[in-house]
Structure 1
Amino acid sequence: MNEQHEEHSEHSAAPRPEPDAHHSDDAPDPPAARTPPDPKPEPEAEPEPEPEPASTVEPEHRQDPPDPAKPTAPAGPPGQVHHNNVNQYFYGELNASGAQFGLGTAGSDNARRRAVGRLDAGEADAILAPYVKPACFEQAVLALEQDAVVVLVGPPGSGKRSGAVALVDALADGSEYVVLSPGRSLDDLASGKVAFEKGVGYVLLDRTGEDSSQTADFDWRRVRDTVREHDAHLVVTTVHPVDGAVVESVRHVPWHLPDLTAVLRVRLARAGCAEDTVERAAALMPAGCRIAEVAAAAGRIACGGAPEEVWQDYGSSAAQPVREWFLQERTPQEWAEVTTLAFVNGAGYRDFETCQERLEGWVAPAFPEPVTEEEQHAAARRAVDRRLSLSRNALVAVEDRKNGALTRTALVFPHPQYRQWALEELWTKRSTPYWNGVRDWLTELVAAQPGLGLQLSVAQGLALLARPAFDEVADNYLHPWASGTAGPAGQSTATLVLQCMCLHESLAATALGLARGWARSYDPALRSTAAAAFSGALGVRFPTDAVTHLLRLIVRRGGLPVDAAFALAGLVAVLAECGQDTGAVLRPLAYRLRQQRETLTGQPKENILGAAMTVLRARDARTERLVCAALLERDDRQTTTIGQVWAGVLDNLPRRGRALAALFATLRELPAVSEHPERLAERFGHAVGAALPADDRPPLAGALRQVAARADEAVTALVEIFLTAVLSTKG
């Protein structure tokens, strides 16, 4: 794909109101759960070149990939992930609960908006208006002014994101700010794959690229010269500098937190708080707060929260009760109670105790066996009094949850923030034999296909554990599960972990790096899991990266066109549900179809056509309506692009019969998605007509009238309006 085209897609999105949408399969097609097995992969060396069209004709009996699965679909062949099962639950149940998972964000707003593209004025103002400069700010401004590029190096939570925006605001000519994907390599930045514009400020947050220490200075010099040439400015943030490298061409500035008391005062003063409230809040602020915690606390205090109560949830105040619990000598059963609660959060007594008992068996080798008769009797009593022990545990609380007219009992932490601190203490206090048992327990638990509720809880726990122990999570859980060692449920749980990581600004780029690596793997199971991940929250956060990798999986030799087609359709539906730019998928797909128009045959062309049909037939899981039909009404900006995608499949004679049936289904649903279906049909017709070659329009009209011959009068009228617009379009 043309890289500038991709980068344009990355820059041009704008948020829209959030419709209520999900995707599902098209009813007339076979269930997606019965997806045929993947073709035998033919691994290619990385990096992947864009494949040339194959010279062989695909067999006549080939069918399009089935449409995305409904949440209730049964499990399919090993190595395939059912995207809807995961993303339906993540966006439905997770958003409905409004839960906090201790990742520094409330709810799932982060996962519902893109992390790249142009910052709109409102988002930029929200960052810049209350901004407090740290002591290192002026040093970074000087470096950016002299070199046009600067790198901010600092730990997560040190304010690098807001600092990067403030830096480009200080020097950029205009008020346009573009956030680039953290997956961009130095070669991408230097070679024109990112179209830098004069006067625009660019930020690349949490860069994850691995630089060669031997060429780092040369590579950064190329980036600097390219940005200078376009009279732009670029600020890059990262956690670690290049190992062992001396980079002289672009300065790497150590980044530090601003004065957090000043941050708090500015935010409270801007919110109109009384001076005594500001002073009391500043005096009570605990140590150990992250800048995001200060911002969140300021928001709660500004809304009327008492500072002494609000601060209990942040910094050392939130961690202290957990740390005090861990300072006491604890029995193996108590260790198991807290560990179970960290991963099986919100379960009832029976399910919780069953999981805890299994964990105790797995971690038993990490504790000395009871030797004396008294120790043996004490261990036996604890096992019998399991529920009584839970009631005495200060880190375990019982919560009543309403379920219609019924009330369900759930075991949780007393405060949501305790979960994060408990996992950090567990990681610090327990050694490898214990964590080996936890790994084997969770793998057994997930492989048994426990249901999406428990999968989500495990995923939340692992996402939290990734903060203090990323290598542990990646090496012992994510990579093995994504490759299929825990079965299809393990793959979908690995996908859910990445979705949960997207809830936190500092973990989202890490999740992207994992999925990119899986997508490039020789292992088809890893590539299938990556496709599933890109169809959900990860694709919403980084749509350009998601579409790029999914299209490569569709067209590459030995790729996974069926899985990737599911993922593209799923991503369109999830983007629509989140009110994000569905054109991030539709524009590159239309571009690919135009590219393939002059190609007579070949596997890549067939795969792209099949993927386009899958996207066009994806349905909303809640309303059962076609997603692209609803988009014609919700987002008229996409009408032209949708018309181009339709023209691409209608222009292909072997698929025209199925395409016409799907087109008729779309027109038939216009009254269900719009109060003015006639206007919608006319606009849709003009879009398709403009994209179709003039010679193809009359045959299309005759064939579509035959398909609609038995339709009722209202639908026939819509078909005629549509065809009149197609035939009357000039060009």
Structure 2
Amino acid sequence: MDEEQSERRDQEEPEPKPGAEPAPDRDPGAPRTRDDETGETGESGETGETGESKPPPPGRPDTAPVHHNRVNQYFYGALDAPGAHFGIGVGDFANVRRRAVGRLDAGEADALLAPYVEPDCFEEAAAALEQDGVVVLVGPPGIGKRSAAVALVARAAEGTEYVVLSPGRSLDDLADGRVSFEKGVGYVLIDRMPETSSGTADFDWRRVRDTVRDHGAHLVITTVHPVEGDAPGSVRHVPWRLPDLTAVLRVRLLRAGCAADTVERAVAGLPGGCGVAEVAEAAERIARGAAPDEVWQEYGSGAAEPVRDWFAAGREPREWAEVTTLAFVTGAGYRDFETCQERLEEWVAPTFPELAVNTDGAEAHRRDADRRLMLGRNTLVAVEQRKDGALTRSALVFANPHYRPWVLEELWAKRSTAYWNGVRDWLTELVRTQPGLGTQLSVASALALLTRPAFDEVAENYLHPWASGVAGPAGQSTATLVLQCMCLDEGLAATALAVGRGWARSPEPALRSTAMAAFAGALGVRFPTDAVNVLMRLTGRSEEARLALAGLVALLLDCGEDTGAVLRPLAYRLRALRTTSTGHLRESVLDTVQTLLGGRDTRTGRLVGASLLEGAPEQSDRIAELWAGVLENRPRRGWALRYLHATLRDLTTVTAEPGPVADRFGRSLGGALAPPERTHLGPALRRSAVRPTPETTALTDTFLTAVLSTED
């Protein structure tokens, strides 16, 4: 799915009203945006902030590696994090590898609609949507609002075309043409974030309603944030409720062909406290042959009961420290675990009266405790034997991975602020002094889980301080990892986006740097339009932003997602500025293009530009436009010729059949270059070659023949 493709056609931005402030994410000096070929959105057509930017000086390296930084390697490289039981809702790593916005393909729409069961509030929302063209579904996570939104537009829309919009879209975006609604198309905006109250809420909603209705479209918005004060009268806000979960379970099991007795056993064992997504996941497991009784132990009250029973008993300080340590440091060996627990006990000792009044006794308690025997008696704890090559190591984990979120919820509900202050200081020390794959992933996934019951606690005491550098570079990468883990959960992804956007708007360089890392990774894959908007806005004053944008392109390519999310708006900027001979804005865009085309993937050593030509053939024309921009810029022409030749050379390593790729690229570049440039390219490119191999020389001939074939 791609929001740029889905929103179809960018509209020119209207002139600002006199005295009006520019939108927070828009550069006031940006050119108007329109791309009728690709239908790019206004956000991705925005131009980065201006700033002092010059061509690379003679002593500057010609290229920079495009790093898949440590955070992104964790999620997109060979993920090897023993013990990192992420347990974020019902998500998995596939969630973070796909976009959350854009056109909903037929397969995904059918998967949502085929087993859908309408709750009793469905008809009220359907009537409002039919009447007004817009309706808002309000309710907590896990009650099926996303499926309901698609089901509602499927009933109301004339066709079978559905579009998912970014949760970062404001009411002004929806009303002012930043989203180009089309007749007969159904639009959904999932998990809309609240906006600053302006006192004109009903007027703003009326503008959205009129815009959608005038275009003959339908829009369903979902949110977990109830309306403050009176609900807008112009757009119905419908309180959403769970459907009959037994009906949801029956429909899914019967569609899967389960026997009647299996269906009845599953329905009879359905525990309380489940959400729609949990029931759907459990049904899938039961349909694959899992025993219903065993499956239900991991969902709703079935998973919570053993944890709540454990906490209901009187617990000693050592036991509180055990489960707290395990919640944040899952999968560690005995020695590392015991060391972490001892440090935690020191930080939280003042919150336990029996330890606080007797410092010597507290020290003796920590020294004399036989921790391994005590851990063996803790029913929430288990020891796994894990293979590590030819060796086996012990890893401390929860007896059931689904215990972890419930343990964090119970800890938050039962321990005081003073205890959590100790936990905060302990984790900050841990991340700063022991940066490593296992530790960072485990801490980050625990904090992502903790956002459910205590988002403010996580945001104010961990995310913001760590992202701003309080815990050093390891703290910044761990803060980024928390957002990546949140992207695993459909219900938390929009919140992660809001946090990342906030960092990007900060005046603090460290926060902006952390935001760049986040948007160059999983957050950018989930929300590519927002990522491009953020990163391009920062490219004018930050080489780091340009590298992040290039890294996002490489990452989108690795994930099989649409690299045009970056290439289309960048090519548009270049076209818009092509007639401008000088200027900071032009140089900033050219710097960004040069960084992208000259960057090398540190994992493969290959030029990103070569990998794009082989892996994204549909973007050949856009890539050619970028090359034409730097080739026609005289101060950069020498660099462009060298790296164009290097790109052709790398084609021989990224594909077994480089000839057709070079031919296609040559035709695209010939169409993008001015006629005199096509003629001069051949001699100049051959002169720039350094020790060309026969294979590269033949490929260059193929490429140049294709370039000249576009002559009129």
TM-score, structure 1 length as denominator?
A: 0.89
Distance change >3 Å, CA 692–CA 610, structure 1 → 2: same
Instruction: Write the deviation string for residues 370-420 of structure 1: whole angstroms up to 9, x where unpaired.
Output: 489999389527743122222221111111111211112211111111111
Q: Which moved more, 1:291-300 or 1:60-69?
A: 60-69
Quick one: structure 1 residues 68 and 360, their matched pair in 2 at CA, closer, same or farther if it must change by over 3 Å? farther
Looking at structure 2, the residues matched to 161 and 690 of structure 1 have their Cα atoms a distance apart, in angstroms, of 44
SS of the equivalent of 1:407 reads strand
Give the length in aligned residue pairs. Answer: 680
| Counterpart residue type for residue 311 of structure 2 | F
Secondary structure at the aligned position of 1:505 is classed as coil
- Give, in whole Å, the separation in 1 of the partners of 2:149 and 2:701: 54
Q: Tell me the CA shift for residue 710 of structure 1.
A: 2.5
User: How do 1:357-376 and structure 2 match up within 5 A?
Assistant: 357-370=342-355, 376=361
- In the alignment, is the contact (CA less than 8 A) between 1:216 and 1:245 conserved in 2? no
Whole-angstrom distance in 2 between the partners of 1:172 and 1:192: 20
Equivalent of 1:165, from 147, 150, 158? 150
Q: Which residue of 1 aligns with 2:289?
A: 304
Secondary structure, in 3 states, of the residue corresponding to 2:129? helix
Task: Give the superposition deviation at 1:209.
Answer: 3.5
Deviations 1:545-604 (A, max 9, x none): 00011000013xxx3x21111211111111112111111111111112222222222232
Q: Classify the secondary structure of the residue corresponding to 1:183.
A: coil
Distance 1:157 1:622 in 2: 38
Q: Which of 544, 557, 564 is 2:529 aligned to?
A: 544
The answer as to 2:4 corresponding to 1:8 is yes
Question: How many angstroms does 1:252 deviate by?
Answer: 0.1
Distance 1:449-1:729 versus aligned 2 partners, 3 A rule: farther
Match of 1:51 in 2: 29
Q: Which amino acid aligns with 2:597?
A: L
- 1:645 maps to 2:626: yes
Which residue in 2 is equivalent to 1:572? 553
Equivalences for residues 693-708 of structure 1 within 5 A: 693-708=674-689
Partner of residue 61, structure 1: 57
Relative to structure 1, the CA distance from residue 383 to residue 319 in structure 2 (aligned partners, 3 Å threshold; closer, same or farther) is: farther
Structure 2 CA distance, aligned partners of 1:241 and 1:64?
A: 53
| Aligned match of 1:617 | 598
8 Å contact kept, 1:68–1:569: no
Opposite residue 193 of structure 1, the aligned amino acid is: R
The 2-side partners of 1:431 and 1:386 are apart by 25
Whether contact under 8 Å (2:81, 2:437) holds in the other structure is no
Which of 177, 183, 189 is 1:198 aligned to? 183
Residue identity opposite 1:259 in structure 2: D
Q: How much does 1:323 deviate?
A: 0.8
Change (3 A) 1:299 1:321: same
Cα pair 1:9 1:583 within 8 Å, conserved: no
Contact in 2 for aligned 1:151/1:253 (Cα 8 Å):
yes
Q: 1:67 to 1:648 in 2, by over 3 A?
A: same
Aligned counterpart, 1:232: 217
Aligned to 2:425: 440
679, 682, 699: which one aligns with 2:663? 682
TM-score, normalized by length of structure 2?
0.91
Partner of 2:708: 727
Identical aligned residues as a percent = 67
SS of the residue 1:235 aligns to: strand
| 1:341-381 C-alpha deviation (Å, 9 max, x unpaired) | 11111111111111111111111111114489999389527
Name the structure 2 match of 1:31: none
Q: Using the alignment, how far apart are the partners of 2:476 and 2:84 within structure 1?
A: 24
Q: Distance in 2 between matches of 1:463 and 1:693?
A: 52
8 Å contact kept, 1:220–1:249: yes
Q: Match of 2:169, SS?
A: coil
Corresponding residue for residue 377 of structure 2: 392
* Distance change (3 Å), C-alpha of 1:644 and 1:651: same
**Residue 654 (structure 2) aligned to one of 646, 669, 673:** 673
Cα distance, 1:244–1:199 mapped onto 2, change above 3 Å? same
Structure 1 residue 284 corresponds to structure 2 residue 269: yes
Equivalent residue of 2:452, what SS? coil
Query: Does the C-alpha gap of structure 1 residues 447 and 254 become closer, same or farther in structure 2, counting only changes over 3 Å?
Result: same
Secondary structure, aligned partner of 2:130:
helix
Q: 2:491 aligns with which of 494, 506, 520?
A: 506
Q: Structure 1 residues 444 and 12 mapped into 2: Cα distance closer, same or farther (>3 Å)?
A: farther
| Alignment check: 8 A CA contact 2:192 2:221 kept | yes
Task: Please give the residue correspondences for 1:23-34 in structure 2 after superposition, counting only pairs within 5 Å.
Answer: none
- For residues 698 and 363 of structure 2, the distance between their equivalents in structure 1, rounded to whole angstroms, comes to 81
SS at match of 2:160: coil
Give the Cα separation in 2 of the matches to 1:713 and 1:434: 69
Contact 1:118 1:176 in 2 (8 A): yes
- State the alpha-carbon separation in 1 of the partners of residues 363 and 555 from structure 2: 53
Q: Cα 1:718–1:59, aligned 2, differ >3 Å: closer, same or farther?
A: closer
Looking at structure 2, the residues matched to 210 and 364 of structure 1 have their Cα atoms a distance apart, in angstroms, of 41
Aligned to 1:465: 450
Query: For structure 1, which runs of at least 5 residues remain unmatched after alignment?
Result: 1-5, 14-43, 71-82
Structure 2: unaligned runs, 5 residues or longer: 10-21, 31-48
Residue in 2 aligned with 1:25? none
Tell me if the contact between 1:64 and 1:613 (Cα under 8 Å) persists in the aligned partners: no
> Residues of 2 paired with 1:647 and 1:97: CA distance?
47
CA distance 1:306–1:57, shift in 2 (3 Å): closer
Q: Is the 8 A contact 1:12 1:117 kept in 2?
A: no
Hey, what does 2:42 align to over in structure 1?
none
**Is the contact made by 1:190 and 1:223 (CA closer than 8 Å) also made in structure 2?**
yes
Matched, 1:156 2:152: no
Match 2:517 to one of 522, 525, 532: 532
Are 1:84 and 2:69 an aligned pair? yes
**Alignment of 1:251 onto 2:233:** no
The answer as to whether partners of 2:102 and 2:165 remain within 8 angstroms in 1 is yes
Q: Deviations over 1:638-677 (max 9, x none)?
A: 1111112221222221112222222111101212222221
**In 2, distance between residues paired with 1:391 and 1:93?**
33
Q: Which amino acid aligns with 2:679?
A: P
Equivalent in the alignment of 1:418 = 403
Q: What is residue 272 of structure 1 aligned with on the other side? A: 257
Quote the offset at 1:96 in angstroms. 8.3
Looking at structure 1, the residues matched to 52 and 359 of structure 2 have their Cα atoms a distance apart, in angstroms, of 77
Cα distance, 1:99–1:709 mapped onto 2, change above 3 Å: closer
Does the 8 Å contact 1:11/1:116 carry over to 2? Answer: no
- 1:352 paired with 2:349, answer no
- Which moved further from structure 2: 669-678 or 474-483? 669-678
Q: Is 1:657 the counterpart of 2:653 in the alignment?
A: no
1:590 is aligned to 2:587? no
Q: Could you tell me whether the CA contact under 8 Å between 2:73 and 2:79 is conserved in 1?
A: no
The answer as to whether partners of 1:7 and 1:193 remain within 8 angstroms in 2 is no
Shift of 1:495: 0.5
Mark the CA change 1:98 to 1:699 in structure 2 (over 3 Å): closer, same or farther: farther
Instruction: Spell out, residue by residue over 1:144-169, the C-alpha distance to the aligned partner (whole angstroms, 9 max, x if none).
Output: 00000000000000100000000000
The question of whether the paired residues in 1 share the 8 Å contact of 2:5 and 2:103 is answered with no
Could you tell me how far apart the structure 2 residues matched to 1:297 and 1:45 are?
44
| Structure 2 residue matching 1:305: 3-state secondary structure | coil
CA distance in 2: counterparts of 1:615 and 1:368, whole angstroms: 59
Q: Assess, with a 3 A threshold, how the Cα gap between structure 1 residues 489 and 99 changes in structure 2: closer, same or farther.
A: closer
Distance change >3 Å, CA 97–CA 172, structure 1 → 2: farther
Deviation at 1:444, TM superposition (A): 1.1
Partner Cα separation in structure 2 for residue 388 and residue 682 of structure 1: 69
For the residues of structure 1 that align with 2:100 and 2:80, how far apart are their CA atoms?
Answer: 18
* Partner SS, residue 386 of structure 2: strand
Mapped to 2, the partners of 1:564 and 1:687 lie a distance apart of 28
One-letter amino acid of the counterpart of residue 67, structure 1: A
The alignment status of 1:604 with 2:585, answered yes or no, reads: yes
State which drifts further: 704-713 or 99-108.
99-108
- Comparing 391-400 with 156-165, greater Cα deviation is found at 391-400
